[in-house]
Amino acid sequence: METIIIKLDSRKMKNPDLDIRYLLPDAIEKYTDNKVCNNGYDYISDTEIGIWLETQDAKGSLDLILKLLKKEEFCQNDLSETAEIYISSAETAEFEKCEKVYPA
């Protein structure tokens, strides 16, 4: 399995509701037909949270995730404008070992 991390910064969000840590991965699982699955979350800093996802193909799944982020708002937040996405070919990779792929 490979790792995708979606980093959210509460300072950039219209509504920094922590429920997003559950709503977003659930929506991604459903939208990708379980090709991308929830793998937990962690605090990256005082204002940033990382949502870990696992998949067989992180780069190949990126387009589906971006389509969903552009299509829907989560807790009144347009994440296509505020989220950062990181990937790694390693399973459950640490944030520092992932490569930022969005925004470029």
Domains of the chain: 2-102 (3.30.70)
Q: What is the pLDDT of residues 9-49, one digit of tens each?
A: 999 999 999 999 999 999 999 999 999 999 999 999 999 99
Model confidence band, residue 93 (pLDDT cutoffs 50, 70, 90)? very high
Cα–Cα distance for residue pair 96/85, rounded to 1 Å: 13
CA gap 97, 72 in Å, rounded: 29
Alpha carbon distance 100, 46 (integer Å): 20
Rounded to the nearest 5 degrees, what angle is found at the Cα of 72, between the Cα atoms of 66 and 75? 115
81 three-state secondary structure: helix
| Amino acid identity for residue 34 in this structure | N
Question: Predicted confidence band at 102 (pLDDT cuts at 50, 70, 90)?
Answer: very high
How far is it, in rounded angstroms, from Cα 21 to Cα 6?
A: 10
> How many Cβ atoms from other residues are within 10 Å of residue 70's Cβ?
11
